[in-house]
Structure 1
Amino acid sequence: MEKDQPDETGLPASLQMAWGLRERPGKGPRPTLTLPKIVDAAVALAAAEGMDAVSMGRVAKELGVSTMSLYRYVTAKEELHILMSDAGVGAPPPLPPEADDWGWRELLTRWAHDQRAVLMANPWILRIPITGAPLSPNHLAWMERGLASMAGAALKEGEKISTIILIGGLVRNEAVMAADMMEAIVKSGVRPDQVLGQYVRTLRLLTGPETHPAVTRLLESDAFTGSDEPDFQFRFGLDRILDGLAALIDGRSPAR
């Protein structure tokens, strides 16, 4: 595509610049303000103070420029959010050399854990609403790696993208719950183990074998305190999804 004809993509100018399809706006001397600088300032603000602190005016103040100067690069706050999210997730990390011998299950597992690690390290990304399908460079790179993980699997292309959406939903949901709980814990000033202990004690006071027999069995088990496996709940959910996918693929194998 010619750089002077980028409108065929249907993307706003800021995303066209992110893809390298459009040069900097305007003519004349190269300005000191650039789209990457704007995005970097917004990301730094979100990481330090949360997404509620991010506005066009506040970002402009951090950069020492007028708010109107930002609109030459980003025409709306929603565009800035997309670019921030893309910068926050970054490009997918490279796979280790031994990944050449991995099957689809190992590759999807690494894809899911790598995504989760990014979101847990940058919880502000989770506060950006999802307003459409991914169209930014890094988000599409993550999609590409997820789809490529299933290149050798007996799955239709529609099933592959559905798998990506399903696993991505698990990753995001688990990360949102973790971020919400941590935010509440920080505000309370109580240690995480104390919060869990108080929750168990409160449940014991509110429930009993006659009114809540299933909850009682849960409390009498070691579900809250007995598992030393890190990220057990996330691993359990991911494994169940992958088990179902394995059953589907195995059912299509020539041997069957």
Structure 2
Amino acid sequence: MATEDNGSGGTGLPASIEAAWGLRERPTKGPRPGLTLTRIVDAAVGIATADGLGAVSMSRVAAELGVSTMSLYRYVSAKDELLLLMEDAAYGSPPPGPEPDEDWRTGSAQWAWALRAAFIRHPWAVRIPISTPPAAPNSVAWMERGLACLRETNLGEGEKISVLMLVSGFVRNEARLAFDLQAAAERTGAGPEESMASWAQLLERLTDAERFPAVTAALRAGELSTPGGPDDEFIFGLDRILDGVEALISARS
């Protein structure tokens, strides 16, 4: 069956997503038989990597591929579908495992670090709005891998999904914050140490111990003037989340 119509093949998914799952064949009619969904997504990913997500448009992708914009719509009916497929390409395949003797916490931590690495490879991916639950192949594979880490716990299936949402949301937010701070530093030309020192100096001028005792205590301790390592906040946050999950598992025991 062809992807030239945008109807569902029984899944309720757009034709392009069905094609990503291998449920549809490429169009059998029309120009440029060498054009494929993979080539379209790869071109869009290349544009996002070079110029940012905002540079991606159907016309720009068509120009990169040397085809007409209308020819893309035989494979992808809307830009939102293309963004979903780009995000799925950015994720790539999840890490292998878990190993039979791997405990849930180790597996979940490795899953979180691997997801963070995917965002670091493709920073533009965190700019794609989440408009649907996982439905593309790689996204569902990541979901499967994350849930498998929790298979030996006493959590209910719904709770396992909630844990996965909590961890993935943290990873995504932490990555986006790190990218925003990096972009700000690049605009000003200031390094992390200089930026933190300037911020601390500003707070010292704006605050006083009577109105802002907690901020003053942090300033006096030097915690607001010295940046930590690039992974410190991620390690701290992930550990606290997994501590909470561990407490829930222990309470159920």
TM-score computed with the length of structure 2 as normaliser: 0.92
Aligned length: 250
Residue-by-residue CA offset, 1:175-216 (whole Å, 9 max, x unaligned): 111111111111222222211221111111111211211001
Q: Is the 8 A contact 1:6 1:21 kept in 2?
A: no
* Residues 47-95 of structure 1 deviation map (CA, whole Å, 9 limit, x = unaligned): 0100110000001011111101111100000000000000011011335
Question: Which one of the candidate residues 58, 64, 69 is aligned to 2:66?
Answer: 64
Give the Cα–Cα distance (whole angstroms) in 2 for the partners of residues 227 and 38 of structure 1.
41
Query: Which of 74, 77, 88 is the aligned partner of 1:75?
Result: 77
Counterpart amino acid of 2:240?
R
Structure 2 CA distance for partners of 1:95 and 1:225, relative to 1, 3 Å: farther
Give me the CA root mean square deviation: 2.2
1:245 Cα deviation after fit: 1.4
1:119 maps to 119
Aligned residue in 2 for 1:200: 200
- Counterparts of 1:178 and 1:142, CA distance in 2: 22
Matched residue type, 1:128? I
The residue aligned with 1:170 is 170
Letter of the aligned partner of 1:20 in structure 2?
A: G
Moved >3 Å (runs of 4+): 2-6, 27-30, 224-230
Structure 2 gaps, min length 5: none
Q: Distance in 2 between matches of 1:50 and 1:29?
A: 29
Structure 1 residues 147-190: Cα deviation after superposition (integer angstroms, max 9, x where no partner): 00000001000000000011111111111111111111112222
**Secondary structure of 1:185 counterpart:** helix
SS for the counterpart of 1:170 is helix
Give the letter for the 2:106 counterpart.
E
Within 2, Cα distance between the matches of 1:226 and 1:28? 60
| 1:179–1:111 distance in 2 versus 1, CA, 3 Å | same
> Residue 85 of structure 1 contacts residue 128 of structure 1 at CA under 8 Å; is this kept in 2?
yes
Q: Which runs of 5+ in 1 are unaligned?
A: none
Look up the equivalent residue of 1:251 and give its one-letter code: A
State the partner residue of 1:242.
242
User: CA–CA distance in 2 between the matches of 1:28 and 1:40?
Assistant: 21
TM-score by length of 1: 0.91
- Report the counterpart of residue 128 of structure 2 in structure 1: 128
